[in-house]
Amino acid sequence: MAYVEKHTVELNKLYYLHKGLEEKLLIAMNHPLTPLEFENAWQEMVSEHGLQNDPTLRGLYEHRSSWIAAYFNGIFCGTMTSTQRSESTNRMMNRYHVDKSTILHMFARRMYQMLQMRKDDEGLETVYSQCCLAGIGDEHGGGEQQGEAAPRCSWT
């Protein structure tokens, strides 16, 4: 959204000239679950309003992978929105890693370490969940164990 906010003046002019454009743009930005759904919604929007050659919309489209949520699906964030994720990171840093007397280079080092740990943990969670869904990593080859409804994956 921050990328789109940089173009507020130009977008407001387009909204004024093309009734319904703002609603269509918001739907295209927030609704699609996949990049293909976004692409279809975007093409429908620009075609309906005849804005295929508008420089503002063309610029937004060219940078879509940096501001459209559908392109972030490969990054594991659980069920958190980007705001929740940043607030969670901020709270964790303030509570456990820094205080008012922390010097800048120590803050930067701790922040980098924390982000790296978080990325590593998310990567392991993604691999673990994908392997469990495929039945890989299960001690018993993915079959049901006696008295157990679903096998547990084991990582050592």
Choose between 16 and 144: higher pLDDT. 16
Q: Which of 46, 72, 98 is the last residue of a domain?
A: 72
Q: Which range marks the domain in which residue 131 is found? A: 76-156
Entry pTM: 0.47
* Residue 100, pLDDT score: 78
Using DSSP's 3-state secondary structure scheme, residue 100 falls into coil
- Shared domain for 81 and 156, answered yes or no, is yes
Residue at 16: amino acid letter: Y
Residues ≥6 apart with Cβ < 8 Å to 17: none
Cα distances from 12 to residues 6, 15, 22, 113, in angstroms, run 12, 5, 8, 41
pLDDT digits (tens, 9 = 90+) for 34-92: 888 888 989 999 999 999 999 999 999 998 887 787 776 655 555 555 566 667 777 77
* Residue 96, pLDDT score: 67
- Shared domain for 26 and 82, answered yes or no, is no
- Shared domain for 15 and 29, answered yes or no, is yes
User: Which of 18-22, 36-40, 107-111, 149-153 has the weakest average pLDDT?
Assistant: 149-153
Q: Residue for token digits 């559908």?
A: 70
- Under a CB-based contact definition with an 8 Å cutoff, are residues 18 and 24 in contact? no
Domain total in the chain: 2
- Shared domain for 68 and 102, answered yes or no, is no
- Shared domain for 64 and 80, answered yes or no, is no
- Shared domain for 94 and 146, answered yes or no, is yes
- Under a CB-based contact definition with an 8 Å cutoff, are residues 67 and 4 in contact? yes
